[in-house]
Amino acid sequence: MRTTRSVVDDKDGLGHYSDPPLLVLASLADGPKHGHAMIEDILRMSGTRLGPGTLYGAIARLEKQGLIKPLPADERRYPYRLTSQGEKVLRAQLATLRRFVRAGLQKLEA
């Protein structure tokens, strides 16, 4: 379940960014995290609360693509980290979003 209800200051549910794989990559950019830590970090960053199914679906796809890698389990926690390819993909996607945001804002100001 992916939800943006009742988070941040967005009563209409507008203004939240919700691309689970990109959110996971961004969460891992500052170091390894396990699932619950990613959910909380993503909520802080974007105002989007990913449900476990959405999160672990994105994790499985990213791992299969070689963009993240599992680390040894820490008790019942299973952390992941970005691979070098994952960092390259994240940088490229964020650069694309930056250009898109600039263009969109310019259009609104015109």
pTM, two decimals, is 0.84
pLDDT value of residue 18? 74
Q: Where are the domains of the chain?
A: 2-109
Fold of 2-109: Arc Repressor Mutant, subunit A (1.10.10)
Q: What is the pLDDT of residue 5?
A: 43
Q: Assess contact for 83 and 69: CB atoms under 8 A.
A: yes
pLDDT in tens, 11-67: 555 566 679 999 999 999 999 999 999 999 999 999 899 999 999 999 999 999 999
* Greater pLDDT, 93 or 1: 93
